[in-house]
């Protein structure tokens, strides 16, 4: 039973107030629904109350409490509706909506295993919240519940000196015991459920408890102030990394990613595949089939086969790419084969315990948010029985699944755009770090065709990626940098790609790491001035504003978009841009695939050096003479749930006029919060869409000012959290 009659009109009105996406009472009842079937739930309401039945639905049983005498009398009103033929009764409250289902399950389980007569939820807190009784123990046994004003000294609590153990207000008892005692209490003029505990103890019955350790669950709602506190808790829970109790599929900016064994399971791969198969059939595209591949991560091959079995089970032909493949090859394969979708099993640059899936449309572009929302929502609503599969061996024999290698067509397509002949004879030697990923076959073939001697490091199949996340940034390319520096002029360039080969990192001939921001400047200049490819440039909002300066110098348009390469390619189409990129190493050019491609980018950099006859460091000097210099820094901190709430709230409550001594020109909320200063200086706060991280980016006139801005951001996001 759920007690929701309230003690007055104000308390009843609070039950109907919004809390997150529902009302207070709806959340409380939703928790009970996850533990008890709806047809076994009795809700006690005030006499004549029509609001709660309208909110909660007609699949519950409602009984009225005619006089607001107390919680005991409210529970007694449900006696006839509950009956005495059930084994046990769970009593919960409509004004404690933050209880978790696992807490109620724990209470029920402990009651059963201990053979208790009465069981209750408790919590250990620093101070007794208003309205809660204290648990009194002797020799660890519960002997009483002390309400405010009672002259009882509680005994020692299970944990913590100076802490207080409280009665949370949920009970389990046999109906005979419960209602017999409630009748006796009514006759004696006692109307509090806590009096029930005292009477049961006096009869020598066994009482046990289940302790809640998340004290946020204790938050009751009896005042507007308590409702505001509860609202913050609900928001905080949205950002707590989920464990075994929640394995939903959630798309971020780069597909669906999750920790293997938690959210990432073969069951979820199959459910998502079924949702995409359903969408394929709704669009009438099943005859086009799908192309599926996987990278080198744990479970990637098994996942690709599991996905293939689902599409085959739905009569959708599958081209299954053998072995491990780069993500851009699948991006290329969808339009090359005319497939309805391209699917790659990868978690890109995430740490090795992660895996995920990226989905590409017929033209090789990433689906936008409304599309991925449909996939994930449909998949999450499915049960295992909703998934249709066909065994892979049978699917192969039937010809529904065929294996095909597309490395040669992909390489040929790159070499139709890259001037391979111009590179031959350029006397360029390179070192390549694929970071244990998937680029060595394709990139190695291209470099060989260019007659460029290449030494590969970290090319073995190692799903642990050497113990680091395979992201081609300064901190993870020390071996590559060291080889070039120790080579004393032997190498003209260092190239790196991330785990699924859609991002690039480069090191110049001196062993200096070249930021992706500078690389984009170099390539935009090269495409426009050397290759004669006119057009604007698109960057995400975390990427250098020097691109805008260079575009203005060329008389071309520049466009800023949200993070996520799907927004970059959409922006390129909008303005006819020649280049689109992001500071994290992703880029593509007009006429190539509608996704980022680290392999193509590496080939383009090699062509640039060969055709200009200049080194990276020489080219950077040329570009900076045009654009001037700006200095970028970035950092990330774990995005705690508290931070997810506090940072946006403080930004909203305290409109920024200055960052330190620097005046704010404007603030953009396109994606996160971007604070624009004078002279193309800026600072960005943005919660990652793929990892539980708050990212901070700055760009400033000097390294010292960039450090100053980044320090200010760090202080801002951690203050008061």
Reading the block at residue 101, the tokens are: 């289902």
Q: What are the structural domains of the chain?
A: 2-238 (3.90.550.10), 253-405 (3.40.120.10), 420-627 (3.40.120.10), 631-718 (3.30.310.50)
- Kindly report each contact of residues 282-286 with a partner whose C-beta sits within 8 Å and lies 24 or more positions away, as own/partner: 283/340, 285/340, 285/362, 286/314, 286/315, 286/316, 286/317, 286/340
Residue 716 has pLDDT above 90, yes or no: no
150 confidence band (pLDDT: 50, 70, 90): low
The CA–CA distances, whole Å, from 92 to 29, 119, 613 equal 9, 12, 77
More confident residue, 527 or 425: 527
354 confidence band (pLDDT: 50, 70, 90): very high
Residue 626 has pLDDT above 90, yes or no: yes
Report the chain's mean pLDDT, rounded to a whole number.
91
- Residue-wise burial string across 455-473, b where 16 or more C-beta atoms lie within 10 A, e elsewhere: ebbbbeeebebeeebbbbb
pLDDT (mean) for 391-413: 97
110: number of CA atoms within 13 Å, CB side?
Answer: 20
Residue 657 has pLDDT above 80, yes or no: yes
Name residues whose C-beta falls within 8 Å of residue 535's C-beta, 6 or more positions apart in sequence: 528, 556, 575, 576, 577, 578, 579, 590
- Give residue 476's pLDDT: 92
% of the chain with per-residue pLDDT over 70: 94
Instruction: Please state, in angstroms and rounded to a whole number, the distance separating the CA atoms of residues 662 and 487.
Output: 44
Instruction: Please state, in angstroms and rounded to a whole number, the distance separating the CA atoms of residues 429 and 431.
Output: 7
**In this predicted model, what pLDDT tens digit does every residue of 209-251 receive, in sequence order?**
999 988 889 888 988 989 888 888 886 775 555 444 457 899 9
Per the listing, tokens 């107390």 go with 70
Which helix (H) or strand (E) element contains residue 402? strand 401-403
Query: Nearest CA to 689 among 538, 520, 562?
Result: 562
**Which residues is 360 bridged to in the sheet?**
342
- Give residue 500's pLDDT: 95
CB atoms near residue 164 (< 10 Å): 17
369 confidence band (pLDDT: 50, 70, 90): confident
In this prediction the pTM is: 0.73
- Sign of the dihedral defined by the CA atoms of residues 377, 378, 379, 380, in that order: positive
For the chain, what's the residue count? 721
Reading the block at residue 700, the tokens are: 């400033």
């Amino acid at each position: 039973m759920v007690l929701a009659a309230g003690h007055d009109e104000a308390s009843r009105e609070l039950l109907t107030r919004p809390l997150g996406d529902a009302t207070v009472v709806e959340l409380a009842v939703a928790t009970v629904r996850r533990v008890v079937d709806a047809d076994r739930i009795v809700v006690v309401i005030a006499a004549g109350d029509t609001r709660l039945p309208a909110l909660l639905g007609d699949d519950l049983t409602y009984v009225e409490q005619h006089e607001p005498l107390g919680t005991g009398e409210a529970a007694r009103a449900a006696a006839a509706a509950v009956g005495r033929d059930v084994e046990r009764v769970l009593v919960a409250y409509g004004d404690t909506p933050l209880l978790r289902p696992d807490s109620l399950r724990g209470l029920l389980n402990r009651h059963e295993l201990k053979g208790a007569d009465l069981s209750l939820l408790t919590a250990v807190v620093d101070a007794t919240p208003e309205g809660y009784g204290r648990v009194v123990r002797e020799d660890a046994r519960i002997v009483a519940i002390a309400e405010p004003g009672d002259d009882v000294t509680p005994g020692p609590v299970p944990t913590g000196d100076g802490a207080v153990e409280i009665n949370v207000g949920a009970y389990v008892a046999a109906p005979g015991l419960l209602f017999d005692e409630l009748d006796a209490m009514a006759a004696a003029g006692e109307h509090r459920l806590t009096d029930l505990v005292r009477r049961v103890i006096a009869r020598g019955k066994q009482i046990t408890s289940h302790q809640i350790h998340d004290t946020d669950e204790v938050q009751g709602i009896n005042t507007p102030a308590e409702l505001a506190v509860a609202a913050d808790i609900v928001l905080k829970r949205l950002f707590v990394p989920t464990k075994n109790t929640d394995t939903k599929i959630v798309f971020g900016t780069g597909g669906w990613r999750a920790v293997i064994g938690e959210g990432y399971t073969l069951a979820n791969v199959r459910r998502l595949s079924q949702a995409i198969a359903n969408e394929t059939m709704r669009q009438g595209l099943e005859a086009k089939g799908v192309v599926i591949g996987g990278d080198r991560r744990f479970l990637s091959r098994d996942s690709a086969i599991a996905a293939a079995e689902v599409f085959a089970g739905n009569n959708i032909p599958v081209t299954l790419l053998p072995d491990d493949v780069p993500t851009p090859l699948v991006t290329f394969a969808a339009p090359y084969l005319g497939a309805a979708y391209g699917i790659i099993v990868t978690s890109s640059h995430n740490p090795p315990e992660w895996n995920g899936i990226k989905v590409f449309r017929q033209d090789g572009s990433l689906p936008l948010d409304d599309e991925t929302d449909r996939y994930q929502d449909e998949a999450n609503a499915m049960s295992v029985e909703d998934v249709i599969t066909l065994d892979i061996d049978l699917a192969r024999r039937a010809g529904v699944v065929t294996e095909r290698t597309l490395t040669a067509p992909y390489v040929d397509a790159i070499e139709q755009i890259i001037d391979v002949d111009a590179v031959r004879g350029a006397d360029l030697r390179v070192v390549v770090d694929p970071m244990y990923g998937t680029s060595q076959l394709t990139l190695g073939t291209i470099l060989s065709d260019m007659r460029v001697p290449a030494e590969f490091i970290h090319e073995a199949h190692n799903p642990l990626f050497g113990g680091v996340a395979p992201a081609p940034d300064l901190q993870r390319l020390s071996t590559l940098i060291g080889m070039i520096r120790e080579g004393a002029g032997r190498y003209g360039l260092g190239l790196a790609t991330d785990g699924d080969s859609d991002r690039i990192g480069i090191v110049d001939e001196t062993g200096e790491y070249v930021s992706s921001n500078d690389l984009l400047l170099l390539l935009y200049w090269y495409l426009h001035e050397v290759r004669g490819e006119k057009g604007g440039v698109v960057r995400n909002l975390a990427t250098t504003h020097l691109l805008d300066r260079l575009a203005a110098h060329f008389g071309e348009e520049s466009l800023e978009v949200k993070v996520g390469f799907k927004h970059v390619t959409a922006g390129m189409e909008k303005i006819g841009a020649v280049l689109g990129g992001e500071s994290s190493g992703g880029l593509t050019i007009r006429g190539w695939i509608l996704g980022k491609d680290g392999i193509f980018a590496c080939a383009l950099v090699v062509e640039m050096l060969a055709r200009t006859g200049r080194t990276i460091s020489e080219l950077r000097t040329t570009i900076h003479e045009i654009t001037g210099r700006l200095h970028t820094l970035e950092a990330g901190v774990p995005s705690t749930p508290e931070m997810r709430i506090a940072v946006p709230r403080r930004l909203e409550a305290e409109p920024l006029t200055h960052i330190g001594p620097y005046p704010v020109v404007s603030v953009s909320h396109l994606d996160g919060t971007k604070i624009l200063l004078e002279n193309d200086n800026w600072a960005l706060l943005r919660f990652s869409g793929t990892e539980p991280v708050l990212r901070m980016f700055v760009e400033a006139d000097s390294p010292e000012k960039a450090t100053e801005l980044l320090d200010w951001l760090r202080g801002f996001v951690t203050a008061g959290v």
